[in-house]
């Protein structure tokens, strides 16, 4: 009996490996960013200067905002716009904002099968019972096993992250550009989300006015520490 239990224990462990690997693969799935952009007549870069400011006054002067503003500045400079020394010296004001919500729970059920489970006979340690089973075009009696033939239910939290960017003519306040990039993911880390959303915002910038694009964002890399 001990050898039999050990054998089943070994099979249970082997059977769980595909489920674990499938779960890890699902975690590595990239999420999508929806990017909407509107513009009137964004001027060509030549002769234009810009300065990035916080659209939310609460973010102004913060070190975190400065880090993300650097990302926007790098993108604007790569397009040919020159960075001004101050908002007063800029011909364009780039208003930038970012946020991530508190998340919401989702429940997912997944079916799985066991390679060692027979459609006619199964194994259940505690409450298995015999019942009629239909296989192909025949009826027979087998050991019903919801452990191997049932579903796995998992709950997880998803977060909605978003960046907003506006470009105004500094002298007149005229709005030249509005853009929003939004994504749903299982990560709420702004250090990961904002750089990817900024990249999505500037993909094929400034885009077609009124068009919403779905842009893939790379999955977050995680470090697994081995504990002996």
- Facing residues of 111 across strands? 151
11 token code pair: 């099979």
Check: CB of residue 212 under 8 Å from CB of residue 36: yes
Nearest alpha carbon to residue 192 among 102, 105, 101, 100 = 100
- Report the SS3 class of residue 80: coil
- Report the SS3 class of residue 92: strand
How far apart, in whole angstroms, are the C-alpha atoms of residue 180 and residue 192?
A: 17
Nearest alpha carbon to residue 198 among 65, 87, 89, 88 = 65
**Domains, in order of start, for the chain:** 2-23+112-151 (no CATH), 41-105+155-217 (3.30.160.670)
pLDDT band for 185, please (50, 70, 90 cuts): confident
pTM above 0.95, yes or no: no
Instruction: Please give the backbone phi and psi of residue 10, each rounded to the nearest 5 degrees, phi first.
Output: -65, -40
Q: What is the pLDDT of residues 124-174, one digit of tens each?
A: 343 444 444 444 444 444 444 454 555 667 788 989 999 999 999 999 999
Q: At 165, which helix (H) or strand (E)?
A: strand 151-169
pLDDT band for 13, please (50, 70, 90 cuts): very low
């Amino acid at each position: 009996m001990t050898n039999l239990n050990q054998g089943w224990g070994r099979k249970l462990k082997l059977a769980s490996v595909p489920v674990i690997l499938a779960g890890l693969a699902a975690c590595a799935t990239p999420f999508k960013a929806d990017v909407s952009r509107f513009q009137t007549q964004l001027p060509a870069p030549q002769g234009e200067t810009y300065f990035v400011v916080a659209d939310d006054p609460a973010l102004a002067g913060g070190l975190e905002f400065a880090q993300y503003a650097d990302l926007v500045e790098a993108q604007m400079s790569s397009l040919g716009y020159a960075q001004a020394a101050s908002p007063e010296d800029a011909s364009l004001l780039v208003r930038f904002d970012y946020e991530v919500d508190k998340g919401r729970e989702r429940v997912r059920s997944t079916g799985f099968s066991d390679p060692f489970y027979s459609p006619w006979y199964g194994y259940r340690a505690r409450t298995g019972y015999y019942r009629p089973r239909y296989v192909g075009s025949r009826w027979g009696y087998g050991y019903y096993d919801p452990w191997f033939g049932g579903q796995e239910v998992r709950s997880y939290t998803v977060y909605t992250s978003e960046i907003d960017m506006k470009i105004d003519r500094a002298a007149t306040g005229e709005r030249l550009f509005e853009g929003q990039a939004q994504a749903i993911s299982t990560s709420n880390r702004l250090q990961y989300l904002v750089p990817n959303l900024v990249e999505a915002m500037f993909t094929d910038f400034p885009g077609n006015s009124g068009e919403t694009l779905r842009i893939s964002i790379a999955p977050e890399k995680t470090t697994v520490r081995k504990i002996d």
